[in-house]
Chain A
Amino acid sequence: MSEEFKNMDNSFRKMSGEIKAVYNPIYWMEMESTLDNVSMDSAYQTAAGSVSVPLSQSADFSEVNDVFLDDAFRGAAGNQATTFSSSHWNEFLAQEKDLVQNDAFTVAANATTVAYHPVFWNDADTVLQQEGLHYEYKSHYWSEAKNLLDLADRRAFFYRWSGVASLLLLISAFGGASLQPETTTDFVSENGIPAEEIFQTNFVSSDPKANGEILDEDRNDVRFDKSDFAASESNLHNSGIAGQNISAVDYASSHLVDMSSADPSIDVMGGNGNPAVSENDHSASGSTNELSSSGSVAHNVGRILNHNERDWTVTKKYENDSRFVLIAENGTIMRPVQTISNEPLISPMPHVSIEENPKYKSRPSHFLSLAASIGVGREYGGSVLDLGKRTTVGIQYRRISYGALHRFEFGANAGVNQMSQTFLGTERHSSQFYLDGSFSKAWYKLRLTAMYNVTAGITAGFKINSRHKITLGAAYDRLIGVKSNMSYQLSSDDEIVTVNNNWGIKDGVNPFDVRFSFGYEYALAKRLSLQANASCGLFDRTENDFLQNTFFDREAGVSIGIKYDLIRIR
């Protein structure tokens, strides 16, 4: 208890003894409640001023001042005394424009519609697909759009967008081979130095202990969203920053600095340890900070959202910092990088291993898909240049690996395929000569028009990137039916019988075959893929003795088709 309260307590006790009044804490509480009552205080003062109290000789009023104006009050009054400085006013006047501008900027930012740029969208789309959050296409979207279009518009719409899709497919097919998945967007700083080089230098920690890891210099709390880890999972392995465990999004977002940090030049996280910018900020803003899958940040392009004073101050503070490149919402580089500092921009962060965290432990994904394809294949019993139709419908299962084999996927497929034939057939004539000089002739003509097989096989795929994939496969075909047309006459005295669309004859067709295939797959959407395949059989699919020819009818064909993922199990 402070000295002032002790004196006050003693004074009250002394007064209580002289007045003969009984101290009750309730009175004090009532008094306390009324002490803050200004009107009561004013009334009390007025009443006190109007009342004249005669002093008693026996009363000792020497200690009144101790009661009401004791040292405690005096000390407190002394402490509360402040001196007004004219510099405060000048400082306010100096910052007034900034404050006003800050408010205006905030209002303008809220009212701004983000400009769309395809480059940003493609990368965001890729990342979102990897996260499994991509829902670019849904069937009911199409249904709604279809309802909105009248019949004439639908046709035009269909042709227009089919053309666009075909063009995109061609571009993708021709350009896919040259695309490097590690290639980042060609952002270059204004001084001509590729941003990749800049940030490969800057983001690799100079601290030998933290080399290859992005760590907070002060070992502060570094937290990541689950989605960050998921998104980064596929990008971390090829990172140029060996062993880093942070996603591109996280990495890019980390350049936003909280001024309240003790060392704002190093601390890239908010003062509370969270990234200063949320996911929505760097994704929806259309100015995503780029980090290549190799781990090099292509550009810390991005709008530093200054929704509060501190952020704006950060911007102002680092606008001369050569390690930052500020780019406006429209993508314009506001200030080029002038120098490359050897000082690490990102401080080492605590090591966070996704693999060690069971919550984020990688697991293979399993897919069950419907697939259908149509194509052409060689006609049996004819020239190799004669082509017939091929159709396949089936289901496909694939397992996407992780870790070192994350680009590979293995699976199996089963289905039914149809092989149309034009030239495949035979005819047989038989003449019976009898001793009485009579004879009888029997014959049939058989034309095999289609063969149906059940097929089961295994596949292995290699993902070039998120959209392009090549596959290898082997399949076992088992004949289940042959469609044929036939005419026959069993004797010269019988009628000619014709049977079309007959399924009762499998003669002349080898009941099994093994096919090997090579394919390419292009992901049109998250669940929908376009497939192109070439396959070649191993055995002669026809029986030459029956067909009375010498052809080696090896299956060979190409096809295109679509695949739709029905089920995905993680």
Chain B
Amino acid sequence: MRSPVFHIIAIAFLFTACNKTTLPDIPDSNDPVYYLRGEVSGNAFDINVGVSDATIEYGISDMNGIESYYGQITSESEDFDLRLDILRSELPNAGNSNSVMPAQPELMVHKPGAVQFRFGSCYQQADNLLIMNEEMQFELKNMVEFSEFGLYHITLKFTDYNLKTFDVPIHYGFEPQLLNPAFISNGTDSVCQLFPVVESAGNEWYVNDVLVSTDGYCAVAMEDGIHSVKRVAIDAQGNRAEKLTLIRFSQGKYLWQLEYVYSNPELESNYAKAVISFKKNGIWHKSSIVPSNAGSVLNITDAVVLSTGMTAADLLNHFGIAFDVDVMDESHEHSLSLGGVSGRMAVGLH
């Protein structure tokens, strides 16, 4: 027979040894931050990031060579994949962070065009110009056609100049206008003089990828041959715009500066325009190839740029959005209508 003390201790042990886990502190739920609601060709959708399998992805990408800020909401279960690309601004550093994206970005709609290479008064030089085509073959021609806006790098070669190739950038639809890096040149006695078309707060002059001057006016000695000259115009906010072209000297004499002449000189800049892409049945449908979207805008509200906290450079811009847009696949055979779409999205800035 155990003593009463034993029983008391046993009971006390029993009470204290029992598992006494309290209820976990579960925070209150908040509403999903990012979501999209609307219709796709009459079929309603309501996608909330964090609910079900809906996720959001954002970051920086490029569209035909032009930097774009994108955000993409995906839900496999709902067969929903919508991507928003906002092309970078021409002057992204405009003094405040909200300026990275206009309040109502216009939808970009591609237009076909061409650029012709001219050599000033040396017209015969065009007859010696070889341009690499899509099949990586050089063709003797002086004009390149584009179906979409973008930044294209054209490889040139001259038949009268040791078959050396040169890469020149063509900003089709994205020629700088607010910060013009264009420059003109002339020269004598193996000295080339470089003058900006529009002066800027800062300049950088590169000859054959070598920085030769940061002054507004630059005079640089050039040997005989074809030289790559680039000017980088810098405004007070640090925005940069560059122009690269070719200059040829022969026997100490200035011969020509390569000029880009677009077929549509009235072409507007496509900086800070937006493109909506919607994936249906595994095929991307884009707003940029639907001519009817030209002039349409996205309603952006309450845009906030913030750091995601991962690194100091991780910024995103989240905002409310509303739009009506038509999208079409690249074959131009299938189109969808996204109507009454609203919600909140985010795009990455860096």
Contact = CB atoms under 8 A, between A and B. Distances in A.
Contacts of A433: 30-34, 49-50
Given A433-B31, A437-B33, A505 B26 contact: no
Nearest to B48: A433
A38 B337 CA distance: 160
Contact of A499 (B21, B28, B57, B306): B21
Interface stretch (A441-449, A521-529, A536-544, A560-568): A441-449
A486 interface: yes
Specify the main secondary structure of chain A where it touches its partner: strand
Contact of B19 (A430, A437, A490, A499): A499
A437 B21 contact: no
Contacts of B32: 431, 433, 439
Given A429-B26, A431-B29, A444-B23, 15 more contacts: A428-B26, A433-B31, A433-B49, A435-B346, A436-B308, A436-B309, A436-B310, A437-B58, A442-B27, A444-B26, A502-B20, A502-B21, A504-B21, A504-B22, A505-B23
A439 B56 CA distance: 10
Interface residues of B, number: 30
B28 A430 contact: yes
B302 to A, nearest CB: 12
Interface in B267-318: 306, 308-310, 316, 318
B55 interface: yes
25 contacts: A428-B26, A429-B26, A430-B27, A432-B29, A433-B33, A433-B49, A434-B33, A435-B316, A436-B316, A437-B33, A437-B55, A437-B56, A437-B346, A439-B32, A439-B50, A444-B26, A486-B21, A499-B19, A500-B19, A501-B19, A502-B20, A502-B21, A504-B21, A504-B23, A505-B23
Interface in A500-515: 500-505, 507
B24 interface: yes
Given A499-B21, A504-B20, A442 B50 contact: no
B343 to A, nearest CB: 13
Interface string B52-83: 00011110000000000000000000000000
Contacts of B30: 431-433
Contacts of A500: 19
B306 A435 contact: yes
A431 B49 CA distance: 11
A490 to B, nearest CB: 6
B303 to A, nearest CB: 13
A431 B33 contact: no
Contacts of A502: 19-21
Nearest to A490: B24
Contacts of B22: 504-505
A446 B27 contact: no
B114 interface: no
Contacts of A318: none
A408 interface: no
A462 interface: no
A481 to B, nearest CB: 8
B349 to A, nearest CB: 13
Nearest to B57: A437
A445 to B, nearest CB: 11
A290 to B, nearest CB: 50
A435 B318 contact: yes
A488 B19 contact: no
Nearest to B33: A433
Interface of B: 18-24, 26-34, 49-51, 55-58, 306, 308-310, 316, 318, 346
A435 B19 contact: no
Interface in A405-435: 428-435
Nearest to B24: A488
Nearest to A488: B24
A545 to B, nearest CB: 14
A403 to B, nearest CB: 41
B33 A432 contact: no
A128 B33 CA distance: 84
- Highest count of chain B CB atoms <10 Å: which of A435, A437, A444, A499: A437
Contacts of B34: 433, 437
B27 A432 contact: yes
A442 B24 contact: yes
Nearest to A437: B56
A499 B21 CA distance: 8
Contacts of A446: 23
Interface string A449-492: 00000000000000000000000000000000000001010100
A502 B17 CA distance: 11
Nearest to B346: A437
A546 B21 CA distance: 18
Contacts of B19: 499-504
Contacts of A507: 23
Contacts of A504: 19-23
A428 B318 CA distance: 30
A429 to B, nearest CB: 7
A446 B26 CA distance: 13
A431 B28 CA distance: 8
A503 B18 CA distance: 7
A442 B31 contact: no
A430 B23 CA distance: 14
B49 A437 contact: yes
A287 B227 CA distance: 145
Nearest to A431: B29
Contacts of B55: 437
B131 to A, nearest CB: 44
A500 B29 CA distance: 26
Contacts of A442: 24, 26-27
Nearest to A436: B308
A434 B346 CA distance: 12
Given A428-B26, A430-B27, A435 B20 contact: no
Nearest to A434: B33
B24 A431 contact: no
Contact of A430 (B29, B58, B318, B346): B29
B164 to A, nearest CB: 49
A505 B22 CA distance: 5
Contacts of B31: 433
